[in-house]
Amino acid sequence: MSSWSNRKKEKSKKKDRYPMCWSSFLDFVERVLLLYDASDIKRLRLRFTVVVNSSRLNSWVSAAVRHNVEELDLSLPMQTRFVLPCCLFTCDSLVVLKLFMDCPFKPPIFIRFLNLKTLRLFAVTFSDDNSTQQLFSSCLVLQELELLYCGWKNLKTITIFIPILKRLTIENGPLWDDALSCVTKIYAANLISLKCTTN
């Protein structure tokens, strides 16, 4: 009985230490990114299963942009509201962008991705026709586009105008059938692979 009681106490102590460990980890990441030297960041992957302070996350992404990040992989917990910093949408060094954001996705008015070749959007909800079309048409050298389980309910028309696009994947599940109610227009003269899946 005493052995079981000791194990229970040990478990409780670990639970109590978790917020402290998590906070220390976030502070560590912040120090690494914000006090980083002049070197470039090749790849940054941020994946969270618990809610993170949005201003802190914003500063991390902005720091990565300042250090000429080439690949950014950002995954947020379900139902997390987050607005990406405007500087991300004019990041000339970015080659690969992967976003898992179960929330409304509203890009800024000015977008310019000069070197973005791969864009993967997972579970984002597009806000309107114009901003969505502007996002896709601003990816001047995009070769691979993946739209996975995104929300299309605010759109009447999906327009993908990317002349040099080579691979396009659109996947929807039973909870994301609203893409089927949209008119989809694809202008991609160099497309070699098209995959559309709905369950």
What phi and psi values does residue 9 have, to the nearest 5 degrees? -65, -40
pLDDT of res. 65: 93
pLDDT of res. 94: 97
pTM over 0.75? The answer is yes
- Burial group, residue 57, by CB count within 10 angstroms (0-12, 13-18, 19+): buried
Indicate the length of the chain as a whole number.
199
Q: Where are the domains of the chain?
A: 1-35, 39-198
Relative orientation angle of helices 2-34 and 54-66, to the nearest 10 degrees: 40
Q: Which residue has the tokens 């179960």?
A: 102
pLDDT of res. 15: 46
pLDDT of res. 145: 97
Spans of the chain, pLDDT less than 70: 1-23, 25-26, 28-29, 32-38, 79, 173-180, 199
pLDDT of res. 3: 52
The DSSP bridge pattern shows strands 71-75 and 167-172 to be unpaired
> Got the DSSP string for 129-198?
HHHHHHHHHTBTT--EEEEES-B-TT-SEEEEE-TT--EEEEEE-GGGGGGGGSEEEEE-TT--EEEEEE
pLDDT of res. 175: 56
What phi and psi values does residue 161 have, to the nearest 5 degrees? -115, 90
Question: How many helices (H) and strands (E) in the chain?
Answer: 3, 11
